[in-house]
Amino acid sequence: ALSGEFRRLDERSVIEYVKGVPALWSKLQEADGDHQLTAKEIGDGNLNFVFIVTNTASKASIIIKQALPYIRSVGESWPLTKDRVYFEKMALEEQGRLAPHHVPQVYHFDSTMSLIAMRYLEPPHIILRKGLIAGIQYPLLARHMAHFMANTLFFTSLLFRSTLDHKREGTQFINNFVHVYNSFINNFVHVFNAFIPFPIAVAKFCGNAALCRHTQQVVFSDPYRIYNLNHWTSPYLDPDAEALRQDNLLKLEVAHLKSIFSERAQALIHGDLHTSSVMVTPQSTQVIDPEFAFYGPMGFDIGAFLGNLVLAFFAQDGLVDQPEDRKAYKEWILQTIEDTWNLFYEKFIALWDEHKDGAAEAYLPEIYNNPEVQLLAQRRYMADLFHDSLGFGAAKMIRRIVGVAHVEDFESIADAAKRATCERKALNFAKMLLKDRRKFEGIAEIISSIRLF
Residue closest to ligand SR1, measured at CB: 46
x/- mask, ligand ADP, residues 115-154, rule CB under 6 A, reads: ---xxxx-----x---------------------------
Q: What angle do CA 339, 343, 349 make, to 5 degrees?
A: 150
Footprint of ligand SR1 on 115-174 (CB under 6 A): none
Q: Which of 10, 57, 11 is nearest to 36 (CA)?
A: 57
Q: What is the 3-state secondary structure (H, E, C) of the chain?
A: CCCCCCCCCCCCHHHHHHHCCHHHHHHHCCCCCCCCEEEEECCCCCCCEEEEEEECCCCCEEEEEECCCEECCCEEEEECCCCHHHHHHHHHHHHHHHCHHHCCCEEEEECCCCEEEEECCCCCCEEHHHHHHHCCCCCCHHHHHHHHHHHHHHCCCCCCCCHHHHHCCCEEEEEEEEEEEECCCCEEEEEEEEEEECCCCHHHHHHHHHHHHHHHHHHHHHHHCCCCCCCCCCCCCHHHHHHHHHCHHHHHHHHHHHHHHHHCCCEEECCCCCCCCEEECCCCEEECCCCCCEEECHHHHHHHHHHHHHHHHHHHHHHCCCHHHHHHHHHHHHHHHHHHHHHHHHHHHHHHHHHCCCCCCCCCCCCCCCHHHHHHHHHHHHHHHHHHHHHHHHHHHHHHHHCCCCCHHHHCCCCHHHHHHHHHHHHHHHHHHHHHHHHCCCHHHHHHHHHCC
As a whole number of angstroms, the distance between CA 164 and CA 267 comes to: 14
Site string for ligand ADP, 289-308 (x = CB under 6 A): x-x-----------------
Q: Which of 14, 15, 39, 50 binds ligand ADP (CB under 6 A)?
A: 50
User: Binding residues for ligand ADP, how many (CB under 6 A)?
Assistant: 20
Name the one range near ligand ADP by CB under 6 A: 12-20, 27-35, 40-48, 414-422: 40-48
> Which range binds Mg ion by CB under 5 A, 55-63, 107-115, 170-178, 282-290?
282-290
Binding-site partner at residue 348 among Mg ion, ligand SR1, ligand ADP, none, CB < 5 to 8 Å by type? none
Which of 60, 68, 74, 106 touches ligand SR1 by CB under 6 A?
74
Closest distance between Mg ion and the C-beta of residue 191, in Å?
Answer: 46
For ligand SR1, the closer of residues 41 and 169 by Cβ is 41
Among 71, 142, 200, 426, binds ligand SR1 (CB under 6 A): 71
Residue 405, contacted partner among ligand SR1, ligand ADP, Mg ion, none, CB below 5-8 A by kind:
ligand SR1
Backbone angles phi, psi at 326, to 5 degrees: -110, 15
**Would you give the binding string for ligand SR1 spanning residues 23-62, x where CB under 6 A is met?**
-----------------------xx---------------
Q: How many residues does the chain have?
A: 453
Count of residues that interact with Mg ion, criterion CB under 5 A = 4
Residue 259 binding target from ligand SR1, Mg ion, ligand ADP, none, CB below 5 to 8 Å by type = none
CA neighbours closer than 13 Å in the CB half-sphere of residue 230: 23
In the shown chain, the binding pattern of residues 213 to 242 toward ligand SR1, with x for contact by CB under 6 A and - for none, equals -----x------------------------
- Can residue 229 be called a binding residue for ligand ADP (CB under 6 A)? no
User: Is residue 88 within the footprint of Mg ion (CB under 5 A)?
Assistant: no
Site map (CB under 5 A) of Mg ion, residues 220-249, x = contact: ------------------------------
Nearer to ligand SR1, 199 or 391 (CB): 391
Q: Which of 2, 6, 13, 43 binds ligand ADP (CB under 6 A)?
A: 43
CA-angle at 116, arms to 146 and 17, nearest 5°:
150
Our CB check for ligand ADP shows the closer of 165 and 291 to be 291
Q: Name the segment binding ligand ADP (CB under 6 A); options: 19-27, 113-121, 200-208, 296-304.
A: 113-121
Residues in touch with ligand SR1 (CB under 6 A)? 46-47, 71, 73-74, 218, 272, 404-405
Give residues in contact with ligand ADP (CB under 6 A).
Answer: 42-48, 50, 63, 65, 104, 118-121, 127, 276, 288-289, 291
Binding site for Mg ion (CB under 5 A): 45, 47, 289, 291
